[in-house]
Amino acid sequence: MKMKPSHMRERLTKIKWGWVICLLAVSGTAKAQQHPMYSQYMFNMLNINPAYAGSRGVGTATALYRNQWVGIDGAPRTTSVGFDMPIKEKKIGLGFQLYDDQLGIERTTGFNASYAFRIQLTESGTLSLGLQAGLLNYQANFSRVRTFQPNDPAFNQNLSGFLPAAAAGIYYNSDRFYIGLSTPALLKTKISYDNTAEIASVSGRDLHVYLATGFVVSLNQDLALKPSVLVKAVSGAPIEYDLNTNLWIQNTIALGFSYRTGDAVVGMAELQLNRQLRLGYAYDKTFSSLNALNTGTHELMLRYEFGSTKGKVASPRYF
């Protein structure tokens, strides 16, 4: 008998998440090293580099929501709310973030505080050195798993605990160019089945490194092109690239496209509603083996800048 597509999809989904859960059970511990990522990272790089704090020159609040792989039960969902601002005549940048990241039976909720020391190198160019410290709560709810064997002892205990987090970065930006290098995790943490935390500094082998750069080119009075690249590297894994380009129309509407190696293509749109408020949307379509199991990924961004409300946007902050 030929299996119906809907039944096959349901079975494949169960198999996929079953393997994830089994791997967690076999390991005996759960690592809290998830690094939430966004397709629209280039519009608020505080998510990947603490040195970005205060770089926009005004207080900025940003909210992002990502619903990944819609149609797969237990697929990732990530929400973050952040605020950053310059102080001390813009020589210091401060940033704060709350985030919630869910993946299957796992959930990570945390708070990060960023500090950036800013050095004015040229009239429009600033170099920033940043550090970040945070606290996260990691949970793995094994009791939610439906097993073939009732009361399976491997799934009758949940994990929960608090863990520290730390990151560092360097960032340079001018009106039309930026480049940054960062590592999102300086600590290697995990929680054992007895709910005890294990903490160690990250070795060179486990260190994640992000390199982000981009620039703006004015095509004419109404059009500006903004290409950017994000490189993600870790020892023992292939280097990943996010290749992006956004076209700004009259400094009000932006249309963009991204290619993420080995993962997905992304379409993006932004609307500068007024001088202070910006709305963004991204849609990811994976070309991996998960493509047949989901209808895509949706991501929303809302950013508000505290400052003057007079007049239209004469020169938007591209980074």
The candidate with the shortest Cα–Cα distance to 226, out of 126, 128, 317, is: 317
Take residue 55 and report the two structure tokens written for it: 């770089």
**Alpha carbons within 13 A on the beta-carbon side of 176:** 6
What is the C-alpha separation between 170 and 147, in angstroms, rounded? 47
The candidate with the shortest Cα–Cα distance to 233, out of 210, 203, 206, is: 210
In a domain, 232, yes or no: yes
In a domain, 185, yes or no: yes
In a domain, 161, yes or no: yes
In a domain, 311, yes or no: no
The candidate with the shortest Cα–Cα distance to 187, out of 110, 130, 134, 113, is: 134
Interval 208-228: pLDDT, tens: 899 999 999 999 999 999 999
Helix, strand, or coil here: 50? Answer: helix
In a domain, 87, yes or no: yes
The candidate with the shortest Cα–Cα distance to 230, out of 277, 266, 193, is: 266
In a domain, 315, yes or no: no
Give the count of domains, the chain.
1
Angular region, 19: left φ>0, alpha ψ -120 to 50, beta rest: alpha
Domain extent, residue 244, equals 5-305
In a domain, 95, yes or no: yes
Amino acid at 248: W
Interval 59-85: pLDDT, tens: 999 999 999 989 888 889 999 999 999
Helix, strand, or coil here: 45? Answer: helix
- Average pLDDT, whole number, for the chain? 83
Interval 110-143: pLDDT, tens: 999 999 999 999 888 999 999 999 999 988 887 7
The candidate with the shortest Cα–Cα distance to 32, out of 167, 199, 173, is: 199
The pLDDT value given to residue 151:
66
Which residue do the tokens 């973030």 mark? 97
CATH number at residue 27: 2.40.160.40
pLDDT above 50: residue 16: no
pLDDT above 90: residue 311: no
Looking at the DSSP assignment, which residues form a beta bridge with residue 255? 247, 269
In a domain, 174, yes or no: yes
Phi, psi for residue 256 in degrees, rounded to 5? -140, 165
What is the C-alpha separation between 214 and 148, in angstroms, rounded? 51
CA 136 and chain centroid, separation: 15
The three state secondary structure string of 283-305 is: EEEECCCCHHHCCCEEEEEEEEE
The pLDDT value given to residue 152:
63
| pTM of the shown model | 0.83
Take residue 222 and report the two structure tokens written for it: 């109404």
pLDDT above 60: residue 316: no
